[in-house]
Amino acid sequence: MADPATRPVHGDRRMSDVEALMWNLEKDPALASTFANVTILDQAPDPERLRRTMDRAVKLVPRLRQRVVPALGRLAPPEWQDDPNFDLGYHIRHIALPAPADERTLFDLAATLASAPLDRTRPLWDFTIIDGLDGGRAALFQKLHHTITDGEGGVRMSAEFIDFSRDGQARPEVVEVDDDEPEPANLVNTVVETVTHNVRRQLGVARRAVTNAADLARHPGKLPGVGSEVVGAAQSLIRQAAVTDHARSPLWTERSLRRRFEVLRIPLDDTKRAAKVLGGSVNDLFVAGAAAAAGAYHRAKGAEVEELRISMPVSTRTDRSMGGNAFTPARFIVPVAGKGVIDQFEAIRDRLTATKHERALEFADALASVINVLPTSMLVRLARQQVETVDFATSNVRGAPFDLFIAGAKILANYPMGPTGGTAFNVTVLSSGGSLDIGVNIDTAAVDDPELLRRCLEDAYAELLSAG
């Protein structure tokens, strides 16, 4: 029998309801969920070697050669089908960086590439080798649609084209298994399959309801606690899914499709030590630094603000799978008034802890299934109203703490580009080697001084590491 590690990793044939919601909302480009990565390399990667590696990767991860096919009338989530015209060469591009070929030029190019929409009739990813970065360096720009996977899943997926040495390691041949071919698409089959999908989903809801009722019948002592749980869940839903007030920033009020990409790095070991001394986690320190920088930016612009609302994905991934999404979006208010880095860190740590235990996070997929059936215009308007309550977005992705290589080139830095999703900016951190690489994807209509924001971030993290 073939080694299981060499068999293709098949995901669900249909998107989850949350993935379908991301797909439907992209009709408004400001709500696009595509994310990217700018990987700086010590030399140009070998294009043919990268192509061979990716040819194997798309066999092992079939989602990379599949396209999205909408369901009838959006009565069920879209499904993934093999692209009959799949062309690996279309998804791997090769360009040269224009003069002056420095990192600023690279990041400006990356902002342009990230803003270009993916072709919705093809598999939703592309890689661009960028030659000519100063100092003999190069870069690899990787773009992936969020419906394929989340940041953590993307890092795991990258293991199929990342090496542990410059020479690379031997990879076993992928043993492709013939799956049952889906029935030819026609109106009758589509209607039957869509109805069947919804029946299965409703049966699952009914089964859980019956199980809960039976449990209460066997243990009537639990009944008094049910009321408080219902009230708590309702309050949580209001906090997370039905926010009505506007974002808090008096400065970051405009939105556009113009982007600026800024980056910074902080030492990973120093961050871990500081977080431990301060009594929290690396993620607590990361969010606290972003909040402190946002407050400092406002003060530098002569605008006082006490609190801002941020969004953050909470990972629900419990397995070692590569594909699909395993997170729920959360939002919460953080203090930014600059009343002391230690006090602010503690307050943010406590709010992060409370947010991760919000009951509403359990209902994200169910809520998405309800609103996905709305007309697109209404769906987008509703989403716009909710993202307008958020000032900026954050995300934390765990990478590898050791040296990695791509097609013979060593990774020097790995800067993530998270989607702004209608907020002023997205700040995402990815651990890479001995550093935390931070990418800031900025809407320049909201943040009119991106360099100031980057300096505020650098100062905030320096202060937190020093306090630790």
Mean pLDDT of the 291-320 span? 89
Please say whether the dihedral angle defined by the alpha carbons of residues 147, 416, 351 and 446, taken in this order, is positive or negative.
negative
217 — pLDDT class (breaks 50, 70, 90): low
pLDDT at 216: 43
Minimum mean pLDDT among 157-166, 234-243, 359-368: which range? Answer: 234-243
283 — pLDDT class (breaks 50, 70, 90): very high
Q: ∠ CA(360), CA(365), CA(367), 5° rounding?
A: 65
- Collapsing DSSP states into helix, strand and coil, what is residue 199? helix
Kindly report, residue by residue over 419-444, the tens digit of the pLDDT. 999 999 999 999 988 899 999 999 99
| Closest-CA residue to 5 (of 192, 159, 206, 230) | 159
Identify any residues that bridge with 394 across adjacent strands, giving them in sequence order.
Answer: 427
Mean pLDDT of the 126-152 span? 93
Kindly report, residue by residue over 98-111, the tens digit of the pLDDT. 999 999 999 999 99
By the 8 A CB rule, do 333 and 351 touch? yes
pLDDT at 451: 98
pLDDT at 72: 78
**Alpha carbons 56 and 172: distance in angstroms, whole number:** 10
pLDDT at 227: 44
b/e per residue, 187-200, with b = 16+ CB within 10 A? eeebeebbeebeee
* More confident: 329 or 332: 332
100 preceded by a cis bond (ω within 30 of 0): yes
212 — pLDDT class (breaks 50, 70, 90): very low
Q: Could you say which DSSP state residue 97 is in?
A: P
**Alpha carbons 376 and 453: distance in angstroms, whole number:** 35
Mean pLDDT of the 166-189 span? 67
Is the pLDDT assigned to residue 162 strictly greater than 80? Answer: yes
18 — pLDDT class (breaks 50, 70, 90): confident
pLDDT at 237: 42
Q: Under 8 Å CB-to-CB from 215, ≥6 apart: which residues?
A: 222
Instruction: Report the percent of the chain where pLDDT is more than 70.
Output: 80
Q: What mean pLDDT is reported for the chain?
A: 84
Identify any residues that bridge with 428 across adjacent strands, giving them in sequence order.
Answer: 395, 439
Phi, psi of 17 (to 5 degrees): -65, -35
Mean pLDDT of the 362-367 span? 68
| Closest-CA residue to 407 (of 36, 102, 57) | 57
Query: How far does Cα 151 stand from its chain's mean position?
Result: 5
Is the pLDDT assigned to residue 213 strictly greater than 50? Answer: no
Is the pLDDT assigned to residue 280 strictly greater than 80? Answer: yes
**Alpha carbons 230 and 101: distance in angstroms, whole number:** 58
417 — pLDDT class (breaks 50, 70, 90): very high
Kindly report, residue by residue over 60-95, the tens digit of the pLDDT. 989 999 999 988 777 788 999 999 999 999 999 999
Is the pLDDT assigned to residue 252 strictly greater than 70? Answer: yes
Mean pLDDT of the 329-354 span? 88
421: which 2 tokens? 């999703």
Mean pLDDT of the 285-293 span? 96
- Collapsing DSSP states into helix, strand and coil, what is residue 279? coil
391: which 2 tokens? 């000032």
354 — pLDDT class (breaks 50, 70, 90): confident
| Closest-CA residue to 371 (of 14, 17, 12) | 17
pLDDT at 125: 97
Strands of 253-391 (E only): list them. 259-267, 307-315, 327-335
Mean pLDDT of the 378-401 span? 90
- Tokens 């969010």: give the residue: 287
Phi, psi of 126 (to 5 degrees): -160, 150
Is the pLDDT assigned to residue 409 strictly greater than 50? Answer: yes
Model-level pTM? 0.85
Phi, psi of 462 (to 5 degrees): -60, -40
